[in-house]
Structure 1
Amino acid sequence: MSKKTPHHDHTHQSHDAIVKRLKRAEGHLRSIVTMIEDGRACVDIAQQLHAVEKAVYQAKRTLIQDHIDHCLEDAVGALANGEGASLEEFKQITKYL
């Protein structure tokens, strides 16, 4: 089970694009299930799975990069004030790279 981190009410400029990408991948994934149920060729299914995998990977990468780019300044300030939570958050998110 994953460890919950405190909820932060913040969004980044990339979040809308990430949500669009993930919703597209979600729909695509549903269509892959239908392809499997309909007995479509494995090579076609594998190709579509690869496309979904790439979309999810890119969404994750964009999210993490955006987080690092926009939250690093806050983290450095927090560390200067003796707050270690921001450093821990960066350690946690980088394991997903």
Structure 2
Amino acid sequence: MTEQPIHETHSEVAKRLRRAEGHLKKIIAMIGDGRPCLDIAQQLQAVESALCNAKKALIHDHIDHCLEQAVGPVSREGRSVVEEFKEITKYL
């Protein structure tokens, strides 16, 4: 496996993941403390959303940098296709 370069958003993605990790630990404590299921479910939704946003940022960064690196500079028309591709990835 070849090593991928670190992109500018990687540190932001890592920061989001660390924040989600801390939040997840709090949710585990909530379960242990017998907190209401509704409270726990709401917090789980927040963590799930944070993970999805981190994944989206990582994928978009990969598309912007690695794809362009592989195919070369993209024209304005090509850029709109790339932007549309990024938009459709939210449905994955």
Fold match (TM-score > 0.5)? yes
Give the partner amino acid of 1:51: A
Q: 1:33 aligns with which of 23, 28, 34?
A: 28
C-alpha distance in 1 between matches for 2:8 and 2:56: 14
Q: 1:45 aligns with which of 37, 40, 47?
A: 40
Q: Which residue of 2 aligns with 1:83?
A: none
Give the partner amino acid of 1:60: K
Equivalences for 1:70-85 in 2 at 5 Å? 70-76=65-71
Q: 1:55 aligns with which of 37, 50, 57?
A: 50
- How high is the sequence identity, in percent, across the aligned residues? 61
TM-score, structure 1 normalization: 0.71
Cα distance per residue 1:38-64 (max 9 Å; x no partner): 100000000000000000000000000
Cα distance per residue 1:1-57 (max 9 Å; x no partner): xxxxx1414111101111000000000000000000110000000000000000000
Structure 2 runs not aligned, ≥5 long: 73-88
RMSD across aligned C-alpha pairs, in angstroms? 1.7
Count of residues in Structure 1 that have an aligned counterpart in Structure 2: 75
| Other structure's SS at 1:49 match | helix
Q: Which residue of 2 aligns with 1:22?
A: 17
The structure that is helix-richer by fraction is 2
